[in-house]
């Protein structure tokens, strides 16, 4: 061998070589008989049970019954959101796109190129509902819908309602792959199909998805000499392929995902597209979060899934670098991501505007999904803290309290005088509503994980878990709490027989003072932002009591976040709060609440309002209102101090804003003039 190559080049070449062998089109036809595993019952959202580099394994959705705070949200999801969204999807032609290809409709194709994915995400939401409860009418509707979907699959295995007729020549062309969402749609198809199979055992939708991959994709696309390249213009297919592997055992799906994550040099892609799409170069060459926020988060999800199956150290090093960038430079206090409306994109480091914040609901969901995978790899609470921040705030805000209106973007300041309507029943790009619905449906599956030595408790809410440890010992756990409004959680641990194992209790990073007792005896060493390991021989009825510090916290941003200089935000427990103008006692609060100031000193009072916004904690914080503010656009910096008078600022949970009449809103409140 003449010369030398870098370790990165060596890894890249071996990845491509392995993929080329494993997706050889001459062998692909033999793989068209891939079948899902028969043990479909009680599988988790992400099945890490055989993932060699997963430290934790999720507990299935159906093993956890939630009856506390999230129960009301999930009930609204089942009885209001999912049915009303189905009506919207039908009304806007998402199903006639399939019916047209069956000859049942003469309507033209409707919606953007990615419209099929809306149906698939809705199906996934239904699947998680069916994993939790029996809903015969919902299942009947979905079964019929699935049969309409698979009926239009072509003999080649191809399935997409947009790239037909006049659009057929565009299939899988480079430009189409970059902007046309073909594989994005199939990725959501596979996720919905897998979830539905795990809910019902009905493999109709899943087998059609396997046909697409085995008969259309693997023989024709990949790194082989007789194959065409793939570029994942909107990452999504990567994580779905790996979950398909976890469902079937066909390792070619992991290798295909690795090839896509690596990129293919046979196609020249513009540098701006590589940034925007967050694909097109080897994933380990990434050094920061950039480009379209949802694409970026989904790419990170797929890359983490790839690491969990392969253990590739280059991937893990990159994932850690990107996660540090997230929490150090790009994460909103609400758990949202994506600063810019242009390109729905990440901004520069510390570029976190408030009123102009994009914070797409799908991006916050992608953030939670990514951190759930990072948590599985490590068992570290820093990832759970980010999940919880996104869940209670930037995701929860995306759906109205009645379940029928949605936020596409989630700003941290808002002025209705602009004419903007933030919550709507429908968007022509309707990715966010069914995405929120599938998140709420699947939520019980994120509460617990098992490890080789015990059980991890990630999230808190009144609930019951009925599952088992990894050694097969049956285990029931219950939680009783008024979280997130109160910080006390009483847990009962009941193994099927006395058994020694570890309960890993998450101590949130926001809780500075914590007490833990087991059967009345204090347990020391509880540290914020870590899991407290409690190892003992547990017997049925053993009791854990956790008390977290719910003192409201006044937060400041890094001074490099220019929009938040001289401002503070209030958080209590996992919930971030905001001011809405209609709650303020000062009528002259000005445009976008600009006349109100928060005191840095003084007690923040808390009261619970059971009849307000579905039942919420409300904060009263001492502040002031600027009286007779100078109307000039500019004034001398050394001008006399503006007159102020004392007032109390009233704050509600951020997720509940824009559920009443239009009103200005602010998360970050000025505490001094700048």
Coil, helix or strand at residue 457: strand
Task: Read off the pLDDT of each residue in 517-533 and give the average, rounded to a whole number.
Answer: 97
Asked if pLDDT for residue 27 goes beyond 90, the answer is no
Kindly state whether residues 394 and 503 are assigned to the same domain.
no
Coil, helix or strand at residue 503: strand
Question: Which residue from 102, 106, 94, 289 is spatially nearest to 185, judged by alpha carbons?
Answer: 94
Kindly state whether residues 666 and 606 are assigned to the same domain.
yes
Predicted pLDDT of residue 126: 98
- Give the confidence band of 33 by pLDDT, cuts at 50, 70, 90: confident
Asked if residue 270 is part of any domain, the answer here is yes
User: Do residues 490 and 541 lie in contact, with contact meaning Cβ atoms separated by under 8 Å?
Assistant: no
Question: Which residue from 214, 33, 60, 51 is spatially nearest to 127, judged by alpha carbons?
Answer: 60
User: Do residues 344 and 360 lie in contact, with contact meaning Cβ atoms separated by under 8 Å?
Assistant: yes
Domain at 101, CATH number: 1.50.10
Strands 474-481, 488-495: pairing kind: antiparallel
User: Do residues 618 and 652 lie in contact, with contact meaning Cβ atoms separated by under 8 Å?
Assistant: yes
- Give the confidence band of 673 by pLDDT, cuts at 50, 70, 90: low
Task: Read off the pLDDT of each residue in 555-571 and give the average, rounded to a whole number.
Answer: 97
Q: What is the rounded distance in angstroms from the CA atom of residue 399 to the CA atom of residue 366?
A: 16
User: Do residues 55 and 451 lie in contact, with contact meaning Cβ atoms separated by under 8 Å?
Assistant: yes
Asked if residue 166 is part of any domain, the answer here is yes
Q: What is the rounded distance in angstroms from the CA atom of residue 263 to the CA atom of residue 596?
A: 51
Task: Read off the pLDDT of each residue in 398-415 and give the average, rounded to a whole number.
Answer: 98
The owner of tokens 């059971």 is 610
* Tokens standing for residue 614: 């579905």
The owner of tokens 């909103």 is 332
Predicted pLDDT of residue 13: 39
Burial class (CB in 10 A: 0-12, 13-18, 19+), 67: middle
Kindly state whether residues 23 and 95 are assigned to the same domain.
yes
632-660 core/surface letters (b: 16 or more CB in 10 A; e: else): eeeeeeeeeeeeeeebbbbbbbbbbbbbe
Q: What is the rounded distance in angstroms from the CA atom of residue 262 to the CA atom of residue 322?
A: 17
Asked if pLDDT for residue 371 goes beyond 90, the answer is yes
What letter does residue 373 receive in the DSSP assignment? H
Distances (CA, A) of 8 to 13, 14, 314: 9, 10, 8
Kindly state whether residues 138 and 181 are assigned to the same domain.
yes
Asked if residue 97 is part of any domain, the answer here is yes
Kindly state whether residues 148 and 271 are assigned to the same domain.
yes
Question: Which residue from 156, 235, 149 is spatially nearest to 193, judged by alpha carbons?
Answer: 149
Asked if pLDDT for residue 363 goes beyond 50, the answer is yes
Kindly state whether residues 441 and 423 are assigned to the same domain.
yes
Residues of the chain with pLDDT > 70, as a percent, come to 94
Kindly state whether residues 435 and 322 are assigned to the same domain.
yes
Asked if residue 300 is part of any domain, the answer here is yes
Asked if residue 10 is part of any domain, the answer here is no
Predicted pLDDT of residue 1: 32
Strands 515-518, 521-523: pairing kind: antiparallel
Domain at 497, CATH number: 2.60.40
Predicted pLDDT of residue 94: 96
Predicted pLDDT of residue 447: 98
Kindly state whether residues 442 and 455 are assigned to the same domain.
no
Strands 454-457, 499-507: pairing kind: parallel
Predicted pLDDT of residue 550: 98
User: Do residues 450 and 138 lie in contact, with contact meaning Cβ atoms separated by under 8 Å?
Assistant: no
What's the count of helices (H) and strands (E) in the chain, helices before strands? 19, 24
Coil, helix or strand at residue 671: coil
Coil, helix or strand at residue 514: coil
The owner of tokens 């979907």 is 149
Asked if pLDDT for residue 578 goes beyond 50, the answer is yes
- Tell me which residue range forms the domain holding 574: 553-670
Q: What is the mean pLDDT of the chain?
A: 94
Asked if pLDDT for residue 320 goes beyond 90, the answer is yes
**pLDDT, tens only, 601-652:** 999 999 999 999 999 999 999 999 987 667 788 988 877 667 788 999 999 9
**pLDDT, tens only, 123-174:** 999 999 999 999 999 999 999 999 999 999 999 999 999 999 999 999 999 9
Task: Read off the pLDDT of each residue in 574-593 and give the average, rounded to a whole number.
Answer: 90
- Give the confidence band of 24 by pLDDT, cuts at 50, 70, 90: very low
Q: Which of 391, 419, 446 is the last residue of a domain?
A: 446
Q: Which residues pair with 457 in a beta bridge?
A: 448, 505
Question: Which residue from 228, 226, 345, 361 is spatially nearest to 288, judged by alpha carbons?
Answer: 345
Kindly state whether residues 395 and 501 are assigned to the same domain.
no
Q: What is the rounded distance in angstroms from the CA atom of residue 485 to the CA atom of residue 13?
A: 53
Q: Which residues pair with 40 in a beta bridge?
A: none
**pLDDT, tens only, 72-118:** 999 999 999 999 999 999 999 999 999 999 999 999 999 999 999 99
List the Cα angle 271/331/184 in 5-degree steps: 50
Predicted pLDDT of residue 19: 38
> Which residues have C-beta within 8 Å of that of residue 101, sequence separation ≥ 6?
152, 161, 164
Q: What is the rounded distance in angstroms from the CA atom of residue 431 to the CA atom of residue 342?
A: 17
**pLDDT, tens only, 264-294:** 999 999 999 999 999 999 999 999 999 999 9
Cis peptide before 484 (omega within 30 of 0): yes
Kindly state whether residues 370 and 508 are assigned to the same domain.
no
Strands 575-580, 644-653: pairing kind: antiparallel
**pLDDT, tens only, 50-61:** 999 999 999 999
User: Do residues 190 and 210 lie in contact, with contact meaning Cβ atoms separated by under 8 Å?
Assistant: no
- Count structural domains, the chain: 3
Residues in the chain: 674
Kindly state whether residues 168 and 307 are assigned to the same domain.
yes
Kindly state whether residues 541 and 651 are assigned to the same domain.
no
| DSSP string covering 517-584 | EETTEEE----TTEEEEEEEEE-TTEEEEEE-----EEE---TT-GGGTTEEEEEETTEEEEEEGGG-
| DSSP string covering 614-637 | TSEEEEEEEEEEESS----SS--T
From 329-343, 482-496, 577-591, the region with the lowest mean pLDDT: 577-591
Angle between helices 116-132 and 182-200 (to 10 degrees): 20
Asked if residue 351 is part of any domain, the answer here is yes
Q: Which of 504, 525, 547 is the last residue of a domain?
A: 547
User: Do residues 299 and 373 lie in contact, with contact meaning Cβ atoms separated by under 8 Å?
Assistant: no
Question: Which residue from 462, 271, 291 is spatially nearest to 366, judged by alpha carbons?
Answer: 291
**pLDDT, tens only, 528-555:** 999 999 999 999 999 999 999 999 999 9
Asked if residue 6 is part of any domain, the answer here is no
* Tokens standing for residue 633: 């656009």
Task: Read off the pLDDT of each residue in 509-535 and give the average, rounded to a whole number.
Answer: 97
Q: Which of 547, 572, 602 is the last residue of a domain?
A: 547
Task: Read off the pLDDT of each residue in 331-342 and give the average, rounded to a whole number.
Answer: 98
Task: Read off the pLDDT of each residue in 18-25 and give the average, rounded to a whole number.
Answer: 37
User: Do residues 103 and 152 lie in contact, with contact meaning Cβ atoms separated by under 8 Å?
Assistant: no
From 278-282, 373-377, 401-405, 417-421, the region with the lowest mean pLDDT: 417-421
Distances (CA, A) of 132 to 42, 43, 74, 450, 623: 10, 12, 11, 19, 46
> Which residues have C-beta within 8 Å of that of residue 313, sequence separation ≥ 6?
none
Q: Which residues pair with 609 in a beta bridge?
A: 616
What letter does residue 329 receive in the DSSP assignment? I
Predicted pLDDT of residue 589: 81
Q: What share of the chain is helix, strand, coil (3-state, %, to 5)?
A: 40, 20, 40
């Amino acid at each position: 061998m003449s010369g030398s190559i870098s370790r990165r080049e060596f890894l890249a070449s071996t990845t491509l070589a392995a993929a080329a062998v494993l997706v050889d089109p001459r062998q692909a036809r033999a793989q068209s008989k891939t079948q899902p595993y028969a043990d479909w019952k009680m599988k988790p959202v992400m099945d890490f049970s055989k993932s060699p580099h997963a430290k934790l394994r999720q507990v299935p959705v159906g093993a956890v019954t939630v009856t506390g705070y999230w129960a009301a949200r999930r009930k609204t999801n089942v009885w209001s959101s999912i049915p009303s969204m189905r009506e919207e999807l039908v009304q806007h032609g998402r199903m006639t796109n399939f019916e047209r290809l069956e000859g049942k409709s003469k309507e033209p194709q409707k919606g953007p190129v990615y419209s099929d994915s809306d149906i698939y995400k809705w199906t996934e939401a239904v699947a998680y509902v069916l994993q939790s409860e029996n809903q015969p009418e919902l299942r009947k509707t979905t079964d019929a819908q699935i049969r309409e979907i698979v009926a239009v699959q072509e003999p080649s295995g191809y399935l997409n309602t947009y790239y037909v007729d006049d659009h057929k020549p565009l299939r899988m062309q480079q430009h189409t792959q970059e902007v046309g969402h073909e594989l994005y749609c199939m990725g959501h198809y596979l996720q919905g199909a897998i979830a539905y199979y795990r809910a019902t055992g009905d493999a109709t939708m899943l087998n059609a998805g396997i046909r697409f991959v085995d008969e259309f994709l693997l023989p024709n696309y990949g790194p082989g000499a007789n194959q065409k390249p793939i570029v994942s213009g909107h990452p999504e297919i990567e994580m779905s392929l790996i979950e398909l592997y976890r469902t079937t055992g066909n390792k070619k799906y992991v290798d295909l995902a690795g090839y896509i994550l690596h990129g293919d040099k046979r196609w020249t892609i513009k540098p701006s597209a590589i940034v925007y799409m967050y694909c097109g170069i080897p994933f380990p060459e990434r050094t920061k979060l950039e480009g379209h926020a949802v694409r970026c988060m989904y790419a990170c999800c797929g890359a983490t899934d790839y690491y969990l199956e392969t253990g590739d150290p280059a991937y893990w090093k990159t994932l850690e670098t990107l996660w540090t960038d997230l929490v150090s430079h790009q994460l909103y206090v609400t758990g949202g991501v994506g600063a810019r409306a242009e390109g729905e994109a990440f901004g520069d480091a510390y570029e976190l505007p408030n009123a102009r914040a994009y914070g797409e609901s799908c991006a916050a969901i992608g953030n939670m999904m990514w951190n759930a995978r990072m948590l599985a790899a490590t068992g570290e609470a820093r990832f759970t803290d980010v999940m919880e921040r996104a869940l209670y705030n930037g995701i929860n805000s995306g759906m109205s309290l009645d379940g029928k209106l949605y936020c596409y973007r989630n700003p941290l300041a808002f002025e209705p005088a602009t004419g903007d309507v933030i919550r709507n029943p429908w968007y022509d790009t309707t990715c966010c509503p069914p995405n929120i619905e599938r998140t709420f449906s699947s939520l019980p599956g994120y509460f617990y994980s098992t490890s080789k030595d015990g059980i991890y408790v990630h999230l808190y809410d009144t609930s019951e878990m009925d599952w088992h440890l990894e050694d097969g010992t049956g285990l029931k756990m219950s939680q009783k709490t008024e979280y997130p409004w109160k910080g006390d959680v009483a847990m009962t641990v009941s193994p099927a027989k006395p058994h020694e194992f570890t309960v890993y209790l998450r101590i949130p990073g926001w809780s500075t003072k914590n007490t833990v007792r087991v059967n009345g005896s204090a347990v020391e060493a509880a540290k914020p932002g870590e899991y407290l390991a409690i190892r003992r021989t547990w017997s049925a009825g053993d009791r854990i009591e956790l008390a977290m510090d719910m003192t409201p916290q006044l937060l400041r941003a890094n001074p490099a976040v220019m929009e938040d200089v001289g401002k503070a935000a209030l958080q209590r427990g996992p919930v971030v709060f905001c001011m809405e103008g209609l709650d303020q006692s000062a009528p002259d609060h000005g445009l976008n609440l600009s006349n109100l100031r928060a005191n840095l000193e003084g007690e923040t009072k808390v009261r619970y309002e059971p009849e307000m916004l579905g039942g919420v904690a409300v904060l009263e914080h001492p502040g002031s209102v600027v009286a007779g503010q100078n109307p000039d656009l500019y004034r001398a910096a050394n001008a006399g101090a503006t007159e102020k008078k004392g007032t109390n600022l009233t704050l509600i949970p951020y997720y509940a804003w824009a559920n009443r009449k239009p009103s200005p809103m602010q998360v970050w409140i000025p505490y001094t003039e700048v």
